Amino acid sequence: MPRSKKQSVTLTDVAKEAGVSRTTAAKVLLGTGGDHVRIGDAASERVNKAAALLSYRPNRAAQLLAGAKTQTLGVLMDTVNAPVMNDRLAAIEKEACARGYRLLIGQIHENNSVLSDYLSDFDSRGVDAILCLFDLTLGREKRLLPLLGDRNDIILHGKPLNEKGCCVRVNTAQAIDDIVKHLTTIGYKRIGLQLEDMTDELMVVRRTAYIDAIQRTGQSVDQNLIWTAQSKSTIPQQQTLDTAIKHLVNQNDADAIIASNDVWGVRLVQSLKSQGFNVPDDVAVTGYDNLDFSTIIDPPLTTIDQQHDLYAKEAVNLLIKIASGTPPVKKTVTVPPRLVIRHSSQRDK
């Protein structure tokens, strides 16, 4: 019979319930014992059923002392781009839980000393592998190398730290190309690009991808249709929005704007409408990230879905391979984006 919740169920209790040795139970539930401990399917099934019956939970502190894997993954986040990263984190936690892992999460606030403290904390708790879930701004990798460069338990987001590092990324260049193809097919001729601060490497990637995509349509690139906010804020002020519209639409006749994210996209739609423009007949607007509010703006916003569930699956796959001591053959995994077409870019041809 299951014990009272006040009593701690031990591995020995599970072994007794399953009719196996403690070593066998430990092999099934904790992965200890090495290759010389072999367990048949029937015994493994009995152990798992006994563990479920008794509501057994591994003592992670004891696992750490014994040198066993703790089935714990670490995630280090930043305060920048929080809405997107929080959605991505939720998908990662769901995937990790389904695979029998827990997460420890730290927020580093763009501070390397805080990052160092979290790494020490994760190490002391026996975290099996760590995902750095933050964007790399220009030059940031040089500051991270002393902390992360020699570790083999780290996965970065966006790009690897060095030639031996691992990363998971979304194909940003493909996303911009997909948007340009869509707008061109609909009939837009003067497609503008709104960027944030160019110290963000993703903005550099987007600018390059935009130029390449425009050229592939057979058009020449008008540099006046590329406008940069020169601000690290992902939430634009009204004056900044007005400046963007004045430059791109009023002065350079943009009939479509590719915004850097959904916040910019929604606010550009609102500002254009307040100035008497029709969206999408006069100016189309596209966003990036497919946040929930992109569906409730009028008109609903065409955007890029970064496929967080697929990202989470690939990230957890890499983390588990690293945790198991098996270096992944493919160290950089690229997740394809998905273009979500809504009315903000559906003008009749």
Q: What is the DSSP string of 114-143?
A: HHHHHHHHHHHTT--EEEEES--BTTHHHH
What is the model's pLDDT at position 245? 98
pLDDT category of residue 312 using cuts at 50, 70 and 90: very high
Helix, strand, coil fractions of the chain, as percent rounded to 5: 45, 15, 40
Return the SS3 of 85: helix
- Per-residue pLDDT tens digits for 2-48: 444 446 788 888 889 899 888 888 878 776 665 556 778 888 888 88
Q: Which domains does the chain have, with CATH numbers?
A: 11-63 (1.10.260), 72-170+308-336 (3.40.50.2300), 172-306+339-345 (3.40.50.2300)
d(CA 69, CA 126): 7
Lowest mean pLDDT among 110-119, 127-136, 229-238, 290-299: 229-238
Taking the CB of residue 252, how many other CB atoms lie within 10 A of it? 16
What is the model's pLDDT at position 62? 57
Q: In sequence order, which residues have a C-beta less than 8 Å from that of residue 115 and are 6 or more positions away?
A: 76, 108, 144, 147
d(CA 218, CA 225): 16
More confident call, 140 vs 19: 19
Amino acid at 48: N
Q: Which helix (H) or strand (E) holds 75?
A: strand 72-77
- Per-residue pLDDT tens digits for 104-122: 999 998 888 999 999 999 9
Instruction: Classify burial at 61, counting beta carbons within 10 Å of its beta carbon; exposed 0-12, middle 13-18, buried 19 or more.
Output: exposed
CA separation, residue 73 to residues 16, 101, 132, 242 (Å): 30, 7, 11, 44
What is the model's pLDDT at position 349? 55
CA separation, residue 111 to residues 60, 133, 250, 299 (Å): 29, 14, 41, 39
CA separation, residue 208 to residues 144, 161, 224 (Å): 25, 21, 15
The answer, yes or no, to whether residue 220 has pLDDT greater than 90, is yes
Give the rounded percent of residues in the chain with a pLDDT score beyond 90: 60
Length of the chain: 349
What is the model's pLDDT at position 314? 97
The one-character DSSP state at 191 is E
What is the model's pLDDT at position 110? 80
* pTM of this structure: 0.80
The one-character DSSP state at 200 is B
Mean pLDDT of 216-227: 95
pLDDT category of residue 255 using cuts at 50, 70 and 90: very high
What is the model's pLDDT at position 83? 87
Lowest mean pLDDT among 39-43, 137-141, 298-302, 329-333: 137-141
- Per-residue pLDDT tens digits for 52-107: 888 877 665 555 545 556 789 999 998 778 889 999 999 999 999 999 899 999 99
* Per-residue 3-state assignment (H helix, E strand, C coil) for 282-331: CCEEECCCCCHHHHCCCCCCEEEECCHHHHHHHHHHHHHHHHCCCCCCCC
